[in-house]
Amino acid sequence: MSAIPPTNRLFRGEAAQVCLALPEAEKLDVVYLDPPYAVGTTMAMRETPGEARGRKHAASGRDAYVDGANVDALLAMLAPVFVAVRERMSDEASFYLHMDARAVHEAKVAADRVFGRRAFVGEVIWTPGNGSRGARAFGMTHQTLLIYARNDRKTARFRVDHPLLREPFASTSMKMHFKNLDADGRPYRERSVNGKTYRYYADEGRRLGSVWTDIPAMVANTPLRKEGTGYPTQKPELLLERILRAASVAGDSVADFMCGSGTTLAVAARLGRRFVGGDASPVAIEVTRKRLDAAGVPYAFMEA
């Protein structure tokens, strides 16, 4: 855990500038960034019934932010953010970069240049659960999270001790291996390794792998659910909860310098982590403040 002020903070400003404005001694334990993806549109809000959220069109609400099509411009914006983030990461910290196939491969090369290949921990494929619309190719139904340590992949904190960090055994494995029942009727299997016998219960599942299909984006994107704010590209709280549970413990500091509707900050607060949030869009800041205020989360707000 790093020595930083106990106050949560939210800034309106450019990500690199906000990050570098933090006191030098302050170290971040998890940084999550969900930047624009090079979609080539303006992203708009849904605030009143009848308005449409997402890519701007005639029925859209207020503009939230611009997601330009130029991948080079996106990378030129991101590279200094990577440098600033690395500068402020603690030795056990993890950096999660969330993008999609439009620019993630080039972003990986740019991030490797800043962090070094030894710092690349791995990637997660997340399927938001939207159907394919592809007519000329397989539709893009997944997004990618690149994970970096500060220096060396072996140093990044990683925990596996929460049910959210487990997944069900494969159905073939269930049929083939979990044939025993204990006194309470729970199916299990036993394996012997080096003369020692280990018991695995079916209902405890196995360690979570790198393909996440169990967190639908819909929960964050419909006015029917409490967490939906109407902000375009809002991510589900469960996705951030899984990341924060894997990469941090209570009291750690979590940062999101492109926080949009404030998902990372709301989840960090709920899990007892401290946060630094930021976004360049005044609309994002307005939505985030409303969300944090409604949840009774204390924070200081500043213009960067």
> Which residues contribute to the site for ligand SAM (CB under 6 A)?
14-15, 34-36, 65, 77, 231, 233-235, 257-258, 260-261, 263, 278-281, 284
Exposed e or buried b per residue across 108-140, where buried means at least 16 C-beta atoms within 10 angstroms of its C-beta:
bebbbebbbeebbbebbebebeeeeeeeeeeee
- Rounded to whole angstroms, the Cα distance separating 84 from 76 reads 13
**Alpha carbon 160 to its chain's center:** 17
The torsion of the CA quartet 231, 235, 240, 241, rounded to 10 degrees, works out to 90
Query: Which residue of this chain has its Cβ atom nearest to ligand SAM in the complex?
Result: 260
Using the minimum distance from each CB to ligand SAM, give the nearer residue, 3 or 76: 76
Q: How far is the CB of 23 from ligand SAM (least distance, A)?
A: 20
Q: What stretches of the chain show up as alpha helix (H) in DSSP? A: 15-20, 71-88, 104-115, 171-177, 218-221, 237-247, 263-270, 282-294
Give the neighbor-by-neighbor strand order of the sheet with 196-201: 180-181, 187-193, 196-201
CB atoms under 10 Å from CB of 219, counted, come to 19
Cross-strand pairs, 276: 9, 255
Using the minimum distance from each CB to ligand SAM, give the nearer residue, 94 or 261: 261
Using the minimum distance from each CB to ligand SAM, give the nearer residue, 41 or 155: 41
Q: How far is the CB of 236 from ligand SAM (least distance, A)?
A: 8
Using the minimum distance from each CB to ligand SAM, give the nearer residue, 253 or 281: 281
Q: How far is the CB of 185 from ligand SAM (least distance, A)?
A: 41
Q: How far is the CB of 37 from ligand SAM (least distance, A)?
A: 7
Using the minimum distance from each CB to ligand SAM, give the nearer residue, 37 or 115: 37
Using the minimum distance from each CB to ligand SAM, give the nearer residue, 60 or 233: 233
Using the minimum distance from each CB to ligand SAM, give the nearer residue, 258 or 297: 258
Q: How far is the CB of 206 from ligand SAM (least distance, A)?
A: 28
Q: How far is the CB of 15 from ligand SAM (least distance, A)?
A: 4
- Rounded to whole angstroms, the Cα distance separating 76 from 96 reads 19
Q: How far is the CB of 276 from ligand SAM (least distance, A)?
A: 13
- Rounded to whole angstroms, the Cα distance separating 260 from 220 reads 12
3-state helix, strand, coil in the chain (%, to 5): 30, 25, 45
